[in-house]
């Protein structure tokens, strides 16, 4: 049976992920309330503003049920602000911001310097043939990740060279960049094939 992928739809780039999944012929469901979590096979955390999403998750009573699902092994993919929400440690955020600790890593919000605040770069991503054109928009950077966490991509040129920008831990994937704003569906495909298991 084809999986149903939830997209956290409190704020941010929800429609873009819907479009990428649609292009792959994969079913998606917008998750705004607790009851929308029932029966999903995975959850995508979109880009946007992580501190706002954090606030809305708590206010709307979604934080605890989502945390339980992630702790129970629900596959997940976070882009940009979504990566921040999946991290176990976040630098440069509000004191009251929550995150899920689904990937054992430290991320720094808005980590790229002023001159590369938003930028594009062609990356090699483990598991994908050929380069991926990556769009970074006030992106976080992975400062360090635990022994069980797999680094899938680093920026390989320019002022941000060396920065870790794609990681995986168990069945959770996170990228600092936004494949959903391009027509390239290979990262979503990797997520579904390797992490969700169609």
Binding residues: 48-50, 109, 137-138
Q: Which residue, 74 or 87, has its beta carbon nearer to ligand GLN?
A: 87
Count Cβ atoms below 10 Å from residue 171 Cβ, excluding itself: 18
178 is catalytic: yes
How far apart (Å, rounded) are the C-alpha atoms in residues 5 and 27? 6
Q: Give the residue among 151, 162, 89 at the shortest CA–CA distance from 121.
A: 162
| Full 3-state SS string of 117-160 | CEEEEEECCCCCCCCEEEEEECCCEEEEECCCCEEEEECCCCCC
Q: In terms of CB distance, is 41 or 141 closer to ligand GLN?
A: 141
Biggest alpha carbon–alpha carbon distance for the chain:
46
Asked if 106 is part of the footprint of ligand GLN (rule: CB under 6 A), the reply reads: no
Residue pointed to by tokens 């001159």:
115
Among candidate residues 145, 178, 188, 189, the one labeled active-site is: 178
138 vs 186 by CB, closer to ligand GLN: 138
CB of 7 to ligand GLN, least distance (A): 14
Which of the ranges 29-37, 44-52, 127-135, 147-155 carries the binding residues for ligand GLN, by CB under 6 A?
Answer: 44-52
Q: How many CA atoms lie within 13 A of 116 on its CB side?
A: 17
49 is an interface residue for ligand GLN by CB under 6 A: yes
Check residue 11 for interaction with ligand GLN (CB under 6 A).
no
DSSP strand pairing (76-79 vs 172-175): parallel
Q: Which of 28, 50, 121, 141 binds ligand GLN (CB under 6 A)?
A: 50
For 11, the 3-state DSSP assignment is coil
The verdict on whether 80 is a catalytic residue reads yes
So which residues are the catalytic ones?
80, 178, 180
Residues that bind ligand GLN (CB under 6 A): 47-50, 80-81, 84, 109-110, 137-138
């Amino acid at each position: 049976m084809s999986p149903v992928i939830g997209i956290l739809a409190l704020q941010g780039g929800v429609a873009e992920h819907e479009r990428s999944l649609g292009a792959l012929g994969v079913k998606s469901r917008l998750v705004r309330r607790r009851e929308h979590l029932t029966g999903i096979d995975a959850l995508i955390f979109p880009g946007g503003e992580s501190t706002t999403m954090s606030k809305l998750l708590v206010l709307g009573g979604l934080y605890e049920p989502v945390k339980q699902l992630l702790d129970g092994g629900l596959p997940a993919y976070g882009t940009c602000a979504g990566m921040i929400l999946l991290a176990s440690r976040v630098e440069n955020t509000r004191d009251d911001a929550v995150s899920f600790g689904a990937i054992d890593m430290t991320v720094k919000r808005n980590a790229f310097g002023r001159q590369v605040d938003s930028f594009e770069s062609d990356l090699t991503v483990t598991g994908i043939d050929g380069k991926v054109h990556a769009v970074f928009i006030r992106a976080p950077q992975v400062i360090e990740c635990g022994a069980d966490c797999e680094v899938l991509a680093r920026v390989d040129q320019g002022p941000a060279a060396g920065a870790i920008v794609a990681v995986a831990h168990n069945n959770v994937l996170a990228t600092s960049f936004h494949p959903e704003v391009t027509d390239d569906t290979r990262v979503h495909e990797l997520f579904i094939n390797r992490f969700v298991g169609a």
